[in-house]
A = this chain, B = another copy of it.
Amino acid sequence: MNNFLNSNMGRLMSAYQDLETRFARMAAVADSLGILEWDSQTTMPSGAAAGRAEQTATLHLVLHGMQTDPRLKELLDQAETEAAMLDPWQMANLREMRRLWRHTVTVPADLVEASSRAVSACEIMWRSARPNNDFAALSPLLNNVLRLKREIGQAKAEAFGCSPYEALLEDYEPGARIVDLDRLFDSLATFLPNFIQSALERQARLPPIEPLVGPFPIEFQKALGECLMRALGFDFSRGRLDVSLHPFCGGARDDVRITTRYNEEDFLPALMGVAHETGHALYEQNRPAEWLNQPVGAARGMSIHESQSLLIEMQACRSKAFMEFLAPLARKCFGGSGAAWSEDALWRRITRVERSFIRVDADEATYSAHVILRYRLEKAMVAGDLSVADLPGAWNEMFQTLLGVAPPDDRRGCLQDIHWPGGAWGYFPTYALGAMTAAQLFESARQSDSDVELGLSRGDFGPLIRWMRREIHSQGCLLSTEMLLRQATGRPLAPEAYCRHLERRYLSA
């Protein structure tokens, strides 16, 4: 190697490596915020909330200062001119750094601040407007949030070469495009109404299931949950299970903390919640350790993340196969016996279908219809085709079309979610994308290894997790979401595997 190359190499490494150091620091601050957030939800005494808000606001300010340091652009420019000397992971890392940088710099600081203030005000109003069923009170504040989100979308749209709504989607699902979402969701929206009707009719023909009689002591539920987590391969030396009002998966890399909440009258909701959050946690724990503090080691996007939780909860843990393992274990744990504790009764209990109004309580069969509704409405609002004032009417009409019933009030209609008041526009579609992705991944895993499904009936998740680890977890952000899925399943995301799954479980099982 001659001297010119040598010195060139030196410069290159210093630009790229300087970036790695800077992004590692940002990751450490983000991890600190993750632990503080976990603490706020699980441990913090009530009187500490104001102080905690100052701590997190200050760390967010510190993080923002790191993200907008003018030196970052120079380093990115320099590293990109010399990108040919990077290996594929470094190259993908540089690409992700540029993407993140673009997100922070394309929106003017005053717009970010105005939006964050509008969101705070709207969230506060939402907390009373929802129980009071008072859409009129929320409407002007929600309109304000929408107006600023549209401005943000427009500012980002130019930098990302896409439409404003797609620019908002970029925050949660990089690369998602309306044409693809429309195709996927239109296809699902055609399938679901008849499918739901058929599933309900089939269910109505079956004899009723006997009630499960509790109480189910929390310590037993916790032990059963931890037993499931261990079977799923959760690493307790790098994570925890705790309790919070709203279950979540959080903490930091190498310290993945999930939560659940217990109901002493029924053990299944907490257990299925643990399965769901463990799916998220496995994706967090199994991404490549050497890249975990870099952008390329992050989760690929919200649809892949949701696919991992739904894969564990919906595809694996609510399967008939897994119930062969779970039913005897649960009978032993709680001393249960009789018809209510049979495999079939427990399985019917966790696969019950109902036309309901609240998304977070919806079952697997109807869930995507709730999501498609929100996707269509928020897309129309960001495009300017639907006003906030017309939202309740549009919601109720579309709900009737998709789910066959109409919400009795806005509380159980367009007021139910925190996402829009909270500024998370473009988030909803990832839930349904995650469900479809989970079905497609699970189908491929089953086809590639017959032990995937056989294992479930023995409580052996090894074959499934090994496949998922190799195809998804170990990949970090090396590939785009689309390429990742093509590589793992041989095809881009499509609704067929999901529809096959629903039909198999709800119409023929």
Q: Does A47 make an interface contact (CB < 8 A)?
A: yes
Q: Does A124 make an interface contact (CB < 8 A)?
A: no
Distance, CA A147 to CA B50, complexed state (A): 44
Question: Inside 8 A of A252's CB, which chain B residues have their CB?
Answer: 48, 51-52, 55
Distance, CA A204 to CA B458, complexed state (A): 68
Distance, CA A422 to CA B190, complexed state (A): 69
* Stretch touching chain B among A29-37, A128-136, A165-173, A442-450: A29-37
Distance, CA A485 to CA B237, complexed state (A): 48
Interface flags, A15-52, vs B, CB<8A=1, else 0 = 00000000011001101100110010001111110111
Q: Does A293 make an interface contact (CB < 8 A)?
A: yes
Question: Inside 8 A of A28's CB, which chain B residues have their CB?
Answer: 51, 54-55, 57-59
Q: How far is the CB of A171 from chain B (nearest CB, A)?
A: 24
Q: Does A238 make an interface contact (CB < 8 A)?
A: yes
Interface flags, A90-106, vs B, CB<8A=1, else 0 = 00000000000000000
Distance, CA A61 to CA B28, complexed state (A): 11
Interface set, chain A 279-333, CB cutoff 8 A to B = 293
Contact B48 A254 (CB under 8 A): yes
Q: Does A418 make an interface contact (CB < 8 A)?
A: no
Count residues of A near B (Cβ-Cβ below 8 Å). Answer: 36
Distance, CA A236 to CA B252, complexed state (A): 27
Q: Does A410 make an interface contact (CB < 8 A)?
A: no
Centre residue among A28, A46, A57, A238 by max chain B CB count within 10 A: A28
Contact B240 A45 (CB under 8 A): yes
Closest B-chain residue to A239, C-beta based? B45
Contact B44 A39 (CB under 8 A): no
Interface flags, A45-77, vs B, CB<8A=1, else 0 = 111101110110111011000000000000000
- The contact of A55 among B35, B39, B44, B62, by CB within 8 Å, is B35
